[in-house]
Amino acid sequence: MNKAFDIEGLGKVIITKNRQAKHIRITVRADASVRVTLPAGTGYNQGLYFVKKKLPWIKKSILKIQEKPAVPSLRFPGRNKLTPLHELVLEKTTGTTLTGQINGEAVIIGVPEGFTPDHAEVSAFIRFMTEKVLRLEAGSYLQGRVSQLAGEYGFQYGRITLRNMTSRWGSCSAANNISLNIHLMRLPEHLRDYVILHELVHTHEKNHGPAFWELLNRLTHNRAKALQKEMRNYSTLNY
């Protein structure tokens, strides 16, 4: 159950309880909203106390998000890579509203006269079309790749869910259901495989203990830690 609390200096903070949570967790989302996850037996007052204790860190995290530009400026008109498989094409139109269509490997966005590529509405629409294309790419690639790697290494898993996540590349539930971020499609192929193998290993090892890293290292030819470090060069928010 979710509850909203007004906290001075933050506004509304959503606090939710989760049976699987072992610790109190604070998440500052891409829109600068704050969510708190509590273990099922933890009281809401304890969650509020924890938020107030972490207030300086929360405000610092919100400030970083607010200072980060949403989308880099784009040439107008011009072509840019929207995803590894699709190009972004911006075209001036005589209409009054933004339009978008996927045509082969091109995502064509019609921009009315008077709008610049870094206009807030154009930036938001580009992000909307990016997510739409990534979901299409992920649907046609990721499920098949999970099945392929699972078969190759002898893993069993439950459902595959594709999501637009802001802070995680993937997750594996206690029932071995795997969630994958559609933004994996923006990564190089070897890093996509690393994330998939990471979650498949979690079907055997639920934590990040020595047994987990030993198995993942074996599957990645002794490169698990190097690949984990390389992942830090990419963000789910930078698009």
Structure confidence by residue, pLDDT tens digits, 98-116: 999 988 888 999 888 878 7
> Residue-wise over 1-29: b if at least 16 C-beta within 10 A, else e?
eeeebeeeebeebebebeeeeeebebebe
147 in the same domain as 225: yes
pTM recorded for the entire structure: 0.63
Q: What is the pLDDT of residue 29?
A: 75
175 in the same domain as 109: no
- Identify whether 210 is part of a domain: yes
Is the CB of residue 191 less than 8 Å from the CB of residue 209? no
Please give the residue range of the domain that contains residue 32. Answer: 2-67
Q: What is the pLDDT of residue 197?
A: 98
- Identify whether 58 is part of a domain: yes
User: 88 vs 109, 128, 137, 158, 239, CA distance in Å?
Assistant: 8, 12, 15, 35, 12
Is the CB of residue 156 less than 8 Å from the CB of residue 188? no
List the one residue out of 147, 226, 152, 150 whose CA is nearest residue 191: 226
53 in the same domain as 21: yes
129 in the same domain as 97: yes
Q: What is the largest CA-CA distance in the chain?
A: 61
149 in the same domain as 104: no
In DSSP terms, 36 is beta-bridged to 15, 26
Element (H, E) at 93: strand 86-93
Domain-terminating residue out of 18, 38, 67 = 67
224 in the same domain as 150: yes
- Identify whether 48 is part of a domain: yes
Domain-terminating residue out of 20, 47, 67 = 67
Per-residue pLDDT of the chain (239 residues; tens, 9 = 90+): 678 888 877 888 889 888 878 889 898 876 678 889 999 889 999 988 998 898 889 888 888 877 755 443 334 444 577 787 888 888 888 888 899 998 888 899 988 887 877 778 888 888 889 889 999 999 989 999 999 999 999 999 999 999 998 889 999 999 999 999 999 998 989 999 999 999 999 999 999 999 999 999 999 999 999 999 999 888 877 65
Phi, psi of 106 (to 5 degrees): -115, 140
List the one residue out of 217, 169, 218 whose CA is nearest residue 196: 169
159 in the same domain as 119: no
Q: What is the pLDDT of residue 68?
A: 59
Q: What is the pLDDT of residue 74?
A: 36
Q: Count up the domains in the chain and report the number.
A: 3
181 in the same domain as 128: no
In DSSP terms, 88 is beta-bridged to 80, 107
- Identify whether 237 is part of a domain: no
47 in the same domain as 26: yes
Q: What percent of the chain has pLDDT over 70?
A: 93
